[in-house]
Structure formats: C-alpha cells, structure tokens
Chains A and B, each alone.
Chain A
Amino acid sequence: MKKKSASDAGKKAFITNKFGDFGFSIGIMMIFAFCGTLNFGEVADAISKGTLSGSALTLAGILVFCGAVGKSAQFPLHVWLPDAMEGPTPVSALIHAATMVAAGVYLVARTYFLYAASPTASAVVAYTGVFTAFFAATMALVATDIKRVLAFSTVSQLGYMIMALGVGGYTAGMFHLTTHAFFKALLFLGAGSVIHGAATQDIRDMGGLGKHMKITMVTFFIACLAISGIPPFSGFYSKDEVLLAAFNYSKPVYIVATFTAFMTAFYMFRLFFRTFTGEMRTKLHPHESPYTMTIPLMVLAALSIVAGWLFVQGHAFESLVHFKEGAAEEGNALVVWISIAASVIGIGLALAVYVLKIVPDGFFRNKFPRIHKVLINKWYVDEFYDKTVIKPSLNLARRLFSFDAKYIDGAVNLTGIINVVISKLHNVFDKAAVDGAVNGVAEAAQSGGGLLRRVQTGLVQNYMLLLVAGAALAVVVFFFVK
C-alpha cells in the first residue's frame, strides 16, 4: 500500500470534515441558544411554536447542513472522498459507499423539521445537492482510476439524495440512500475483485477481463444497470422517486438532475465496457477471485435487483421511514419515461464509443481539450484550496510553530515531566511498599523461612497500617475538613 498517500488522504478527510463540523457545531449551539434543548422532539416543538423562526432558523438549518456537506462529501467539501480511495477496497465499500457518507444524508433527514420549516434552508440543500450531483458526474466522465470513478459517482449520488431531501422528497432521499448502499457496495467490491484479479486500478490498462472473471462481470453489470436506473433494478425505483420530487419542486433542478442521470449511465458503462469487454490492453494475468470475494458480490447483486421492487410493495419503505402508513406519491409517467430514456441514451452512447467504436475513442478529448483538462484536474478545486486555504494556513502554522517551540513546548514538557514523576512515584510506591515487600518476603521464604516468618516480616503490617490510616483519615477529614 502506498503509505504516504494513504496517510495524506486520511489527513485531508479529517481536516476537510472539520470545516463542516465547525459549522455544524455552531449550528447546534445556535439551536441550543434558542430552544434550550437539543432533543429532536423538543426542538421540533419549539420550531412549531415559533421559538426558533425566520432568518435564525434558516441560518441554523444551513449551519447544521454544513456538517452533512462535510460528511457526505458535498460541494465544496467533496475533495476528501476521491482521495480517501487510497484505503483498502473493502473499507471503501463499507465506509464510502454505505455507512459513513450516508451519515450526512441521514443527518439532514433526521433534522428534517428544520428544513421543512425554512424554504431558504431547504433551497440551499436542494441546490447544493443538485450542483454536487452534476459536478461530480462531470469528473467521473474522465477519471481513469476504477475506484475514483466510483468515488465521484458516490459523491454524485449523495448529491442526488441531498437534493431529494431539499426538494421535499424525504422518503425518496432515504429510499435512494438505501438502494444506493446495495449497488454501490456491490460496485466497490466488484472493483476490489477486479483489482485483485488484474493487479491494476487503471481502466486504461484493463479490457477484456470479462472472459476471465465471469461472476465479477455479471454482478458488476447488474450494479451498473441499477445505478443507471434501468427498470426493474432497485436504482430505478428510488431514482424515479427522487426525480419526481425534483420535478414537482422546480423544473431547472429537474433538468439538471435528469442530465446527471444521463451522465451517470454513460460513465458507468464507460467503466464497464473498458474493464470487461474488448481486447486486453496490457499484459495482465487476470483470474476470478475466490469464493470469499464472489459470494458477497452475488448476495449484493440479488439485493440490487430486488430491493427497490420489494420496498415499493405496499409502500413498505414509506411506512418504514415515517413509522406509519405513508401517503402514496402521485406517479408521473412523463418523468418515468424521460428518466428511462436518459439512462438508455447514456448507455447507448457508451456502447457507441467503447464497443461499436462509431464515435472514435478520444473524440471528446480532442474536440474539447480545455474542458477535458478542467475535468481531469477536478475543476481545480484542490488547487484553489491549496492557494487560498492550505498555503496561508501553513505559513501561519510555521510562525506559530516557532512560538510554540519556544514557549508552549516548555510548559507541555513540564507537565509531561510532572506526570512522569507522579507515575514514577506510584511505581516506587508499588515497587517499594507492595512489590518490594512481596519480593522480599518471597526471597526470605525461599531461603528457608516458613509461613510464620513471612507474617512477621512487616509486610502485612504495612497493609494494615494503610487500612487503619485510611479509616482514620476518612474520619478526620470527614469531621474536620468540611
């Protein structure tokens, strides 16, 4: 493993998240200042009574949302997630697909009463979400590392969920969160299987792996169909609900979201075709992964197929998230068909470029070199942060460091020394009073002393002295030191 880059990625994730958490904690304090409680139910009551309202409510909502932005890798704090792909692939599958990044979405859902009461705050959520969804999808179009494509895709899909929550699709957002967990975990584990079998992460080096890794290919294909929103796979149901909520909220948001769905289908199948079909581009020795790896793939594939359908039976999911029978959403055939069409066009385009070669590979790259360069460099967000945040911070840190080395360290070292002295004292006490006595006794016993002699060495007297002193001290302190 590339240790350095992995630990750098760890730091980046940590620091970026702290930015979000900073806003989050201020938001929490604000809510506490206004409502005097942090209990969800009581805060919701306070809002309905108007204790927290107007611009204060909006601000509190946006600040709490900051936490979600960090954790769920929304723009502009999305930068840590692609780098975090340095970690081992199963970790990526668990943390970056299903569990940790979902925390931000869950946070917004859990504090939904804030956004339901503030149209401005929910608009911020919706537009951040839809922009992130679009923005991350563009970067996924050009990424060449299999895990990075999936990372961008995750960011994009999280944007989708956040958007759904912002546009009022509470159920839709949580639904997409759930189905996404299945197929994204499947994609990551599939990618892990590919990396395991092919010993590379770069899709430019892959190709034709399908012949050697049948189970991985089939399951990966299912996941691609699910994420693209092809019926009847799970992604179709949830994505459809998300788009419907967006459609009812605002047409521009809906259009961008649908365009993102098209891009999603394209980049996922770009990934699929480049990995599993065509000719092998470099000399790899691929092999199917062992059953310990393929069985989880098959289980997740089954779930990716049926989960969406299962959850819409009798509005099961709605009753799950609302703790009761939810109201049925109005269906909209137009939205459904446009969504399917967008996906099919995306898949078709990928097919045309990477399999049928109707459009030559590199056509877009050569036609729009500038756009490609911007995308490949991830919109220069990292560079922007480097110039505006990291460099100045480092400068400041350097100056503080020299101050630190002179004054603070002295104080800290002193504390350290005091600590060491205290634990040494403890050690001395333990060694001398307890161990010393015990060892002394043991040695004495070894050299022929009997049991009685052992009692008379003074060891147990020590213990008793302590006991009596303790009792006496307790009584004295109790009555005289009040």
Chain B
Amino acid sequence: MNTVSLKDFIYLIPESFVLCLGILILILDLFTPVNIRRKHVLNISVLGLLLSLPLLVYAPPKGLILGDMVSIDTYAIFFKCIIVLSAVFALTMAKFYAPIKDEVIGEFSALVVFAVLGMMFMVSSSDLLMIFLSVEFVSIAFFILTGYIKNDPKSAEGALKYFLIGAFSAGIFVYGMSLVIISTGTSNLKAMSGILHAPAGYSPLFLTGFLLMLVGFGYKIAMVPFHTWAPDAYEGAPTPVTALLSAASKAAGFAVLLRVALAAVTGRADLVLALAVLSALTMTAGNLMALQQNNVKRLLAYSGIAHSGYILMGVVAACSGTEPELGITSVLLYAFVYMLMNIGVFAVIIAFFNKTGNDDMQSYSGISKSNPYLSLVLVVFLVSLAGIPPTAGFIGKFYVFSAIIKAGPKFLWLAIVGIMNSVVALYYYFRIAYFVYFGAQKDDGKVEITAGLAVIAGVTAGLALLVCIYPGPFISAAKVSVLIP
C-alpha cells in the first residue's frame, strides 16, 4: 500500500484547482457589489470550470494515491469531464434563471463548484470509506442547492425530502458497508475483489452488506424503490440544479456503482441477477409513472428513473462476465449522452419558464408558433431521450442494448423489457411535443431567449445530433476510458 505523501497532490492538480476556484468565488462574492455578481462571479466560476477541463485531460499522471483510496485513471477522467461540463452548462443556465436572486448567486456558484469537487472525488474513489465521504460531501451540497429558492415552498419541500431520504439511506449504506468490511477485512476495492474471488470468498454477511449498500447507490442514481425523493427534488429544485442533479450527480453515482460492482459483483451470478431485476423494475416503474405527469420537470424526474434502469442494463452487462468492456463502454457512453440531452432539455425548459412562469405541459400549448427554433431544439432532445436516430440517445441505447444482448441469452429478457419500455416512453415524450406543436396557442408572445441559453441549447442539440451522425470520436473516447477490472 502506498502511504500518503505530499507528492500525491501532483495527481490532484485538477481537484486542487477546483477547490481553489470554489474558495476564490466565496471571497470574490464578499467584495463584489450585488448588482454585478450575476455577471462577474458567475462568469468566473464558469470560466474556471472550463479551464479545469484541459487540466483534467492532460495534466495529472495516473495512478493510485492517498493510500490507495483514490484512483486517478481514464475511467474517472471521463466521468469528471461529464461532471465539469454539466456544471458549466448548469451555471450558465443559472445566470438566466430569475428565481435565483442576485444576492445569493455567488454562494450558489461556489456550492456548485464544491459539488463538482465532491463528484470528482466520488468517481475516483477506490475505497469504500472514500466513497462514503465523497458521496456525503456531494449530497450535502445538493441538499442546499435543491432548497435554494428560499421563498418557494416547493423548493424547500424538495430539499427537505431529499435530505431526509438521503440521511436515511446513508445510514443503511454505512451499515451495509460495515458488514462488507467486517466480512472481507478490507475497505479497499481492489483488495476486496481479490478476497472475494478466492474460494469461499462470498460470505452471507458480505452479501447482506452488499445488498444494503445497494440502497445507498440506488438512492444516488434514483433506482426503484429508492427513487422516491427524485420527483419532489427535481420539481422543487431550481431548474439549473435539476439539470445538474440529473446529469452530473447521476453520472457520478453510476461511476461509483460500476466501480464497486466490477470489484464485487463480477462473476457472481445471483448478484448480477439482482441488479438485472432492479434494472427491469426501475425502468418499468419509472416509465409507467412518467405517463401520468403533467409537470415537465416531474416527468423528467421519472424519465430519469427510467434511464437509470437502462444504464443499469449496461452495468449488468459489464458484470456478467462475457464482454465486460462493451458493458462498461455502454455505461460511459450513456452517461455522456444522457448528460447532453438532459442539459439541453432543461435549458429549453428554463427558456419556456421565463415566459410562462411555470413548468406545466399545458402551458406549452402552441408555443411552437411563436418560437419555432426553440421548439425544434426541444423536439431534438425529446427524440434523443426516446432513443430515436439520428440523435445521441439512439447511440446510447444501441450500445446498452447490444451490450446486454452480447452478455448472453440469460439476459435476453432484460433486453426485451428494455425495448418494451422504450416504446412506452415514446408516449410521454411526444406528449410534450404534442402540446408544443398542436396545442391551442395561448398568446403569441415570443420567448425571450437569451444568448446564453441559446448557446447551451444549440451546442447540446448539435452535439446530440453529432454523436449519432459521427459517433467515432465519442465511442473511442469511451473505449479508452474503460476501467480494466
């Protein structure tokens, strides 16, 4: 085992940079007049996060550091890029989201930056203790961010529920973790994998502990039946936070889950089956509940639950042994694609919100007549979420499904459940499009689309199309980031 040394911080250049950025923003916020905070403090945070991207990709050497608790590898870097990108987008959105007031925007940016830092550690964690610490770090930041609109009861409600369920599941998670550590004698994933794959490695104590740990992961990725917080939190949270929650927090959750699953689940048929059942349950329940929703943010929360089910298929494929690389690639790719389309769709939702003042589907009636471009972009995202070519969602789904089909005939049923679910999902995505295009027009006021929102929506829509039309670079980026178990 490596001991902790000062040298380790060379590996942590990007993390240190983001930490300094967060502190800098807090200090700047103190000395900046309220009326220009929105402009300057926010811009600096966005710029800083953008700067951390090249640092992430090029600067740090790779290896296990801090007593083997943190692993700097391409797998983590891929997820870190997703996280930083979605935070960049979310902060840019926040600039044009009126309910977050000028007075608090500085702290808001700082919190987002800290959440990013937590998530960066999360995806690099290679030790259960580190995982727990970083997950809680991220959660606390998100609890506050969710409740950020102080005078909106919905925001407070969502935050409180998110917090309570979070605290509760963290308790179960930590309990499960303790059982796992007791039964294997280590908290390090790599060592654990070795012990587990020795003869008689899996003890009932370990299995119980692992299942309880799944509660914690399930909470993080909104897996049924641990998803209950998601609709309330998504609906109540300020929309930029919702976007960040759905894109970055979920990606980070999956990064951790997959890392743990590869160490602990691979080759253990009953655990793989348990994940498969949870996957089927998650996508089915998510989709069915989404059918009934009228609030678009709430609908997207349920849709996000369903998408978690799809990504879980990739995790199942990665752990079932035959072709782990394809399964891992599919999870990476899906996380990226899902980030793109969710960020985009929330950008459009903010633009519509700025006009209509709420997020109900009915209020979008006939909005396409006065806002043709925005509506078209929205449809691109909806098509992508539904997984239809020529959009990124199709590539994501295609990889996940081919991974699960290649995993062998025993998971064919899961693929079929997934495909049936994709059909169900069409209905509620296109219901939004129906209102936008065929609903009776309420007034002909144009949505005042600010340049920033237009850029986010345009860039993500362009990328969402590009990933399908020219997927090569994205797929090879995912392929080189595959974690070798």
**Could you list which residues of chain A lie within 8 angstroms of chain B, going by C-beta atoms?**
423, 426-427, 430, 434, 438, 441-442, 445, 451, 454-455, 459-460, 462-464, 466-471, 474-475, 478-479, 482
Taking the closest CB of chain A, its distance from the CB of B426, in whole angstroms, is 16
Within B249-306, the residues touching A (CB, 8 Å) are 270, 274, 278, 288-289, 291-292
**Which of A430, A441, A469, A479 lies in contact with B292, CB distance below 8 A?**
A430
A460 and B292 in contact (CB under 8 A), knowing A454-B157, A455-B160? no
Inter-chain CA distance A464–B291, complex, in Å, is 24
26 contacts between A and B (CB under 8 A): A426-B289, A426-B291, A442-B153, A442-B157, A445-B157, A451-B156, A451-B160, A459-B161, A460-B161, A463-B161, A463-B165, A463-B228, A466-B225, A466-B228, A467-B165, A467-B169, A467-B172, A467-B225, A470-B218, A470-B226, A471-B214, A471-B215, A474-B214, A474-B274, A474-B278, A475-B212
Chain B residues with CB under 8 A of A469: 225
Chain A residues whose C-beta falls within 8 Å of the C-beta of B212 in the assembled complex: 471, 475
- CB distance A460 to B164 under 8 Å? yes
Do the beta carbons of B153 and A445 come within 8 Å of each other? yes
> CA–CA, A467 to B172, complex, Å?
10
Residue contact B215 to A455, C-beta cutoff 8 Å: no
Instruction: Check: B203 CB closer than 8 A to any chain A CB.
Output: no
Residue pair A434, B215 in contact (C-beta under 8 Å):
no
Q: Does B211 contact A (CB under 8 A)?
A: yes
Partner of A467, one of B208, B211, B226: B226
Bound-complex Cα distance A469 to B224 (A):
12
Q: How far is the CA of A467 from the CA of B223 in the complex (A)?
A: 10
Inter-chain contact B168/A464, CB cutoff 8 Å: yes
Q: Contact: B228 with A478, CB < 8 Å?
A: no
The residues of B that contact A462 with a CB separation of less than 8 Å are: 228
The answer on a CB contact under 8 Å between A441 and B157 is: yes
Knowing A454-B160, A460-B161 touch, does A478 contact B215 (C-beta < 8 A)? no
| B387 beta carbon closer than 8 Å to chain A | no
Closest to A470 in B: B225
Nearest 6 interchain pairs by C-beta: A470-B225, A463-B228, A471-B215, A460-B164, A474-B211, A475-B211
Residue B232 at the A interface, CB < 8 A?
yes
- Give min CB distance, B162 to chain A, whole Å: 10
Closest A residue, CB atoms, query B271: A478
Is B195 interfacial (CB-CB < 8 Å)? Answer: no
What residues of chain B lie closer than 8 Å to A454, measured between beta carbons? 157, 160
Least CB distance, A454 to chain B, in whole angstroms: 7
Say whether B194 faces chain A, with CB atoms less than 8 Å apart: no
Is B228 in contact with A467, judged by CB distance below 8 angstroms? yes
- Enumerate chain A residues within 8 angstroms of B310, measured Cβ to Cβ: none
Complex Cα distance, B157 from A426, in Å, reads 23
Q: Is B207 an interface residue, CB under 8 A from the partner?
A: yes
Choice from B156, B211, B232, B292 contacting A438 with Cβ under 8 Å: B232
> Of residues 156 to 198 in B, which have CB atoms within 8 Å of A's CB atoms?
156-157, 160-161, 164-165, 168-169, 172
**New A-B contacts (19) at CB < 8 Å, excluding given A430-B289, A451-B160:** A426-B292, A434-B228, A434-B231, A442-B157, A445-B153, A454-B160, A460-B160, A462-B228, A464-B168, A467-B165, A467-B168, A467-B169, A467-B172, A467-B225, A471-B172, A471-B214, A474-B211, A474-B214, A474-B274
| Set A423, A468, A475: member contacting B291, Cβ < 8 A | A423
Which residues of chain B are within 8 angstroms of A479 by Cβ–Cβ distance?
204, 207-208
Whether a CB of chain A sits under 8 angstroms from the CB of B352 is no
Instruction: Please list the residues of chain B having a beta carbon within 8 angstroms of any beta carbon in chain A.
Output: 153, 156-157, 160-161, 164-165, 168-169, 172, 204, 207-208, 211-212, 214-215, 218-219, 224-226, 228-229, 231-232, 270, 274, 278, 288-289, 291-292
Smallest beta-carbon distance B260→chain A, Å: 16
Across-interface contacts of B169 in A (CB, < 8 A): 467
B-chain residues with CB within 8 Å of residue A426 when the two chains form the complex? 288-289, 291-292
CB-based contact B270/A464 at 8 Å = no
Q: Does B289 lie within 8 Å of A478, measured CB to CB?
A: no
For A434, list chain B residues within 8 Å (CB).
Answer: 228, 231
Q: Known: A434-B231, A454-B157, A482-B270. Is A475-B208 also a contact (CB below 8 A)?
A: yes
Which residues of the other chain, A, contact B288 by a CB distance below 8 angstroms?
A: 423, 426
Residues from chain B with Cβ under 8 Å of A451 in the complex: 156, 160
Closest residue of chain B to A469 (Cβ to Cβ) is B225
Expressed in whole angstroms, the Cα–Cα distance for A192 and B156 within the complex equals 59
Complex interface: chain A residues within 8 A of B226 (CB): 467, 470-471
- Min C-beta distance of A442 to chain B, whole Å: 7
Determine the residue in chain A with the shortest Cβ distance to B223: A470
Q: How far does the Cβ of A419 sit from chain B's closest Cβ, in whole Å? A: 11
Shortest distance from the beta carbon of A85 to any chain B beta carbon, whole Å: 27
- Whole-angstrom distance between the alpha carbons of A460 and B157 in the complex? 10
**What residues of chain B lie closer than 8 Å to A464, measured between beta carbons?**
164-165, 168
Residue of B nearest to A464 (CB): B168
Shortest beta-carbon distance from A396 to chain B in Å: 30
In the complex, chain A residues whose CB is within 8 Å of the CB of B224: 470
Bound-complex Cα distance A464 to B226 (A): 9
- Which chain A positions have C-beta within 8 A of B214? 471, 474
- Using Cβ atoms and an 8 Å threshold, which residues of chain B touch A442? 153, 157
Nearest residue, chain A, Cβ from B232: A438
Docked pose: A479 CA to B202 CA in angstroms:
13
Q: Compute how far the CA of A434 lies from the CA of B233 in the bound complex, rounded to whole angstroms.
A: 13
Residue of A nearest to B225 (CB): A470
Chain A, residue nearest B226 (CB) = A467
B153 close to A471 (CB less than 8 A): no
Question: B274 contacts which of A427, A438, A459, A478 (Cβ < 8 Å)?
Answer: A478
Taking CB atoms, residues of chain B closer than 8 Å to A466 are 225, 228
Q: Within the complex, what minimum Cβ distance (angstroms) separates B179 from chain A?
A: 11
| CB nearest neighbor in A for B231 | A434
Chain B: minimal CB distance from A422 (Å):
8
CB distance from B278 to the nearest CB of A (A): 8
With a cutoff of 8 Å between Cβ atoms, the chain B residues found around residue A482 in the complex are 270
A171 to B232 Cα, complex, angstroms: 61
Chain A residue at smallest Cβ distance from B291: A423
**Residues of A with C-beta under 8 A to B229:** 463
- Tell me which residues across on chain B come within 8 A of A463, comparing CB atoms: 161, 164-165, 228-229
The answer to whether A478 touches B207 (Cβ under 8 A) is yes
Report the bound CA distance from A445 to B270 in whole Å. 46
Give the complex CA separation of A359 and B327 in angstroms.
73
Which residues of B sit under 8 angstroms from A438, Cβ to Cβ? 157, 232
